[in-house]
Amino acid sequence: MTDAVPAYAPVELAFAGPAVPIPASRTPFTLDVGLGDRRLRVPGFWDGGDRYVARFLPETAGEWSWSTASEAPELDGRSGTVVVSGAAGHGPVRVVERFHFAHADGTPHRPVGATVYNWLHQSDELFTATADAIAQARFTKLRFMVFPQAGDYVEHHPELLPFERGPSGWDVDRPNVAFFRRLDAAVALLGDRGIQADVLILNAYDGGRFGLDGLTEEQDAVYLRYLVARLSAFPHVWWSLCNEFDILDRPRSRWDRLGTLLAETDPHDHLRSIHNWIELFDHNRPWITHASIQNGHVTTELGRAGLYRDVYDKPIVLDEIKYEGDIPERWGHLSAEELVHQFWVATVSGCYASHGESFALPGGSLHIVEGGALLGRSPQRLAFLRHVLDDLVVPGIDPIDKWDDPEFVGGVARRQYLRYFGRSAPPSWRFRLPQATNVGERLQSGDAFTVDIIDTWNMTVTAVERPFVLDDVRRNEAFAPEAIALPAGEAIALRITRTR
């Protein structure tokens, strides 16, 4: 009997097995592990030499029992127990309240993500510096690719590639263990720094350089299963099937089958998405847990992003709203002011967004490609946004009167509201709240509120030193008599909280 281990941390069981590796297309062994009614069927994987490993993630305290099954006698019929006590962190992020996220222990999670596509494939020094910079900027999520990228702005080619070569191209039956151990370490590094690992399983930027976009559907499936076996036990993994999937010339049915396989294979049911270039995927497909969308247009003004909530009925994560930077392409030269504005638009629309940085670097690359220090002026404002989100007393922001409120107030009816004025606030605002449409309590005369003025660029929160009491309650909106003076011309939001 070993010492107790905490919940929400991976448990790894290693066994000696056949020295001639079992090909990855045949899961070498499975671990049946459970506690009470909860049973997991965990795929094991070959980890080099005669080493075979299974990892699982206990989410509750107690004595978990496990047993193995395998075609190989050495890996078959093993059993034991693991005592779980206490917890390390908050557990995997899952969908709550239709449009939002929380950790398994109930702690709200508001993704404010960063993007470094080729992070995994850089030198150890740059690799570590990037994770440190992202953690220091308080981003909660990092999007990065397992397979390397070729093409524009890519100045580094990796030493490690994911598979051995066979007589006719990649042999996915023989994963390169050194490559995947590096991936393990990368995911662990993010976990240590409190960052969710948004793993881009496939990418569309191979361009013939590595040939990893030329795998067959069966090869993709072998790789996917191996990847899941290695990483699923990490609590902070999110899966993204592909970045800009529609650049690749594949039928959607193939993506759909791969996504369905992912959902069936992952014993820990991590978040699953797929990300578009020009044509959206059908995020209503059941294997998709949240819509990961590229469309910078929907966050430039209020009234757009929330439309995606209606159509998908899932959390909306705008994983590419263009980048803060200075390159000629229009996807890469947003001002910091504009990018911060877009995050606030996403927020009050009840959606989430990701950051990326694309200043032309001396070596010819970009931060979104290789990482390094963050140079822009948006990250500290996004950390401030995250601070505001963490201080909310409601689980998430939803439109109050989704198709009819000219002010696009978000929040939870009669509890707490966010009102955002865009990049240039007027000199004053008459206290007004929309009535909820089909859900939520109706505002009543006498309801009292506090107001905090949030300067989204200068990063200040200033309480208005008097209460606001509704005295004019109408069918679709309600008013307090006073107006509020605003710092005209600044990017201002209001946080409005009911006290009575």
| Contact residue for a second copy among 65, 67, 335, 437 (CB under 8 A) | 437
User: Is residue 152 a contact point for a second copy (CB under 8 A)?
Assistant: no
User: Is residue 424 a contact point for a second copy (CB under 8 A)?
Assistant: no
* Per-residue x/- track, 359-398, a second copy (CB under 8 A): ----------------------------------------
Name the minimum Å distance from CB 343 to a second copy: 18
Site size for a second copy (CB under 8 A): 28
* 54 three-state secondary structure: strand
Residue 238: in which H helix or E strand, if any?
A: strand 237-243
Cβ proximity to a second copy: between 321 and 470 the closer is 321
| Contact residue for a second copy among 303, 395, 422, 440 (CB under 8 A) | 303
* Residues near 482 by beta carbon (within 8 Å), at least 6 away in sequence: 430, 431, 466, 468
| Contact residue for a second copy among 14, 88, 311, 393 (CB under 8 A) | 311
Cβ proximity to a second copy: between 300 and 450 the closer is 300
Residues 251-280 that bind a second copy (CB under 8 A): 278-280
Cβ proximity to a second copy: between 422 and 487 the closer is 422
Q: With left for phi above 0 and alpha for psi between -120 and 50, is residue 452 left, alpha or beta?
A: beta
Which among 161-169, 304-312, 454-462, 491-499 is the span making contact with a second copy, rule CB under 8 A? 304-312
CA distance 425 to 457: 12
* Residues near 476 by beta carbon (within 8 Å), at least 6 away in sequence: 401, 404, 434, 435
| Contact residue for a second copy among 307, 373, 469, 486 (CB under 8 A) | 307
Cβ proximity to a second copy: between 165 and 297 the closer is 297
* Residues near 434 by beta carbon (within 8 Å), at least 6 away in sequence: 400, 401, 404, 405, 407, 409, 476, 477
CA distance 259 to 406: 39
CA distance 471 to 226: 62
User: Is residue 313 a contact point for a second copy (CB under 8 A)?
Assistant: yes
User: Is residue 436 a contact point for a second copy (CB under 8 A)?
Assistant: no
The C-alpha torsion from 301 through 309 and 8 to 265, rounded to 10°, is -120
* Residues near 121 by beta carbon (within 8 Å), at least 6 away in sequence: 148, 149, 156, 157, 158, 160
| Contact residue for a second copy among 63, 132, 387, 403 (CB under 8 A) | 403
User: Is residue 218 a contact point for a second copy (CB under 8 A)?
Assistant: no
Name the minimum Å distance from CB 207 to a second copy: 17
Name the minimum Å distance from CB 93 to a second copy: 24
| Contact residue for a second copy among 330, 362, 465, 500 (CB under 8 A) | 330
User: Is residue 500 a contact point for a second copy (CB under 8 A)?
Assistant: no
Burial of residue 274 (CB within 10 Å: 0-12, 13-18, 19+) is buried
User: Is residue 168 a contact point for a second copy (CB under 8 A)?
Assistant: no
User: Is residue 33 a contact point for a second copy (CB under 8 A)?
Assistant: no
Alpha carbon 483 to its chain centroid, in Å, reads 39
User: Is residue 298 a contact point for a second copy (CB under 8 A)?
Assistant: yes
| Contact residue for a second copy among 8, 64, 312, 429 (CB under 8 A) | 312
Cβ proximity to a second copy: between 20 and 278 the closer is 278
User: Is residue 61 a contact point for a second copy (CB under 8 A)?
Assistant: no
User: Is residue 296 a contact point for a second copy (CB under 8 A)?
Assistant: yes
How far is the CA of 235 from the CAs of 10, 35, 159, 497, in angstroms?
7, 18, 28, 33
For residue 184, what are its two tokens?
């393990």
| Contact residue for a second copy among 71, 132, 269, 310 (CB under 8 A) | 310
User: Is residue 44 a contact point for a second copy (CB under 8 A)?
Assistant: no
User: Is residue 71 a contact point for a second copy (CB under 8 A)?
Assistant: no
CA distance 483 to 433: 13
Among residues 47, 51, 54, the alpha carbon closest in space to that of 69 is found at 54
CA distance 130 to 195: 12
Check the CA dihedral 450-455-456-461 and report its sign.
negative
Check the CA dihedral 216-217-220-222 and report its sign.
negative
* Per-residue x/- track, 174-203, a second copy (CB under 8 A): ------------------------------
Residues that bind a second copy (CB under 8 A): 278-280, 282-284, 295-298, 301, 303-304, 307-308, 310-313, 328, 330, 402-404, 437-438, 475-476
